[in-house]
């Protein structure tokens, strides 16, 4: 069972800046990796300790690890958010981006900087394309399009000409299945208002058509591999039979000369 649980907090003093890289601890199963982008992967807060000293507290999900930033790969900030004492900050995915792109960026490492200031701290994401910093007070789902719709639209927006490898196609199939299940569940439980029903049905139909198309592509590719393998096997058998007949019909002198040439090679 997959649980989105936070690790014990990492605490930092206020005497220096911190450059951190967030990434998966290890190679993850694709299903778990997709589930990982359905919630914030980290939360940060400035607070007072029992001794009355201020510190930065950072918590990440159990499958995420913190490491130093490789300065050779350091990028310019793509987002900066200012927070004060007691104000919570999340690192969470952009829901209008395809899940597999969010997973890929987290696998490569997400660069986060924490910079103490006079009244709080600045948080910076560097070069992030599919992740964002969100203030706790802005993270309420009513402020954005329903997550189920945003995820489904992000999946259907993927260009098929950029999904050529068989593994990528299978991962995209999984994304489509999850989007269909999420949309159907949302509809059944009254999440969609009346004027959204037609658009949701059209979106579901487009997802199912793409699912069928990808399945046919994967099956066609598998058959092509089987046919190619069979053709190679048939060609090898034919060449072996030719060599056997040659040895039966050729003179001993010619056979000996050919054997000598092969040995010299």
Q: Are residues 137 and 150 in the same domain?
A: no
**In the Cβ-directed half-sphere of 174, how many Cα atoms lie within 13 Å?**
15
- The most confident of the ranges 30-34, 113-117, 193-197, 218-222 is 113-117
Chain-centre distance for alpha carbon 152: 15
Q: State whether 139 and 187 are in the same domain.
A: no
Q: What is the pTM of this model?
A: 0.55
Question: Which of 86, 110, 144 delimits the end of a domain?
Answer: 144
Q: Are residues 132 and 186 in the same domain?
A: no
Q: Which of 103, 125, 144 is at the close of a domain?
A: 144
- The whole domain housing 40 covers 1-144
Rounded Cα distance between 99 and 113, Å, is 24
Q: Residue 166: is its pLDDT beyond 90?
A: no
Are residue 131 and residue 191 in the same domain, yes or no?
no
Q: DSSP string of 163-185?
A: --SHHHHHHHHHHHHHHHHHHHH
Overall domain count for the chain: 2
Residues 91 and 162 in one domain: no
**Rounded CA separation 124/127 (Å):** 10
Domain boundary among 126, 144, 162: 144
Is 138 found in the same domain as 111?
A: yes
Residue 82 binned pLDDT confidence (cut-offs 50, 70, 90): very high
Confidence of residue 162 (pLDDT cuts 50, 70, 90): low
Rounded CA separation 92/36 (Å): 10
Which is more confidently placed, 152 or 242?
152
Domain identity same for 158 and 124: no
The string over 164-174, giving b where at least 16 C-beta atoms fall within 10 Å of a residue's C-beta and e elsewhere, is: eeeeebebbbe
Cβ burial, residue 162 (10 Å; 0-12/13-18/19+): exposed
Q: Are residues 20 and 114 in the same domain?
A: yes
- Range of lowest pLDDT (162-176, 179-193, 201-215, 220-234): 220-234
**Alpha-carbon span 59 to 36, nearest angstrom:** 15
Distance, in Å, from the CA atom of 35 to the CA atom of 42, rounded to the nearest integer, reads: 15
Q: Quick one: CA dihedral 95, 101, 106, 111, positive or negative?
A: negative
Together in a domain, 160 and 265: yes
What's the CA gap between 254 and 252, in Å, rounded? 6
Q: Are residues 119 and 151 in the same domain?
A: no
Tens of pLDDT, residue by residue over 5-38, are: 678 889 999 889 999 999 887 655 555 555 566 6
Tell whether 113 and 157 lie within a shared domain.
Answer: no
Distance (Å, rounded) from C-alpha 173 to C-alpha 160?
12
Shared-domain flag, residues 183 and 239? yes
């Amino acid at each position: 069972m997959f649980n989105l649980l936070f690790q014990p907090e990492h605490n930092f003093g206020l005497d220096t800046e911190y450059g951190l890289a967030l990434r998966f601890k290890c190679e993850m199963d694709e299903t778990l990796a997709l589930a990982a982008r359905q919630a914030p992967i980290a939360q940060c807060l400035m607070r007072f300790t029992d001794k009355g000293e201020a510190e930065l507290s950072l918590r990440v999900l159990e499958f995420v690890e913190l490491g130093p930033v490789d300065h050779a790969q350091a990028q310019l900030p793509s987002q900066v958010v200012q927070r004060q004492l007691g104000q919570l900050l999340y690192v969470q995915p952009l829901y209008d981006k395809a899940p597999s792109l969010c997973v890929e960026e987290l696998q490569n490492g997400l660069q986060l900087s924490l910079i103490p200031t006079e009244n709080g701290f600045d948080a910076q994401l560097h070069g992030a394309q599919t992740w964002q910093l969100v203030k706790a007070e802005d993270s309420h789902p009513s402020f954005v399009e329903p997550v189920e719709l945003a995820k489904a639209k992000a999946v259907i927006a993927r260009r098929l000409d950029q999904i050529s490898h068989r593994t990528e196609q299978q991962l995209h199939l999984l994304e489509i299945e999850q989007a269909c299940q999420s949309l159907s569940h949302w509809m059944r439980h009254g999440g969609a208002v009346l004027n959204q029903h037609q658009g949701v049905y059209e979106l579901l139909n487009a997802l199912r058509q793409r699912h069928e198309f990808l399945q046919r592509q994967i099956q066609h590719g598998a058959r092509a591999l089987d046919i190619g393998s069979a053709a190679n096997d048939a060609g090898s058998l034919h060449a072996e039979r030719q060599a056997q007949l040659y040895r039966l019909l050729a003179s001993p002198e010619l056979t000996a000369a050919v054997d000598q040439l092969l040995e010299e090679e």
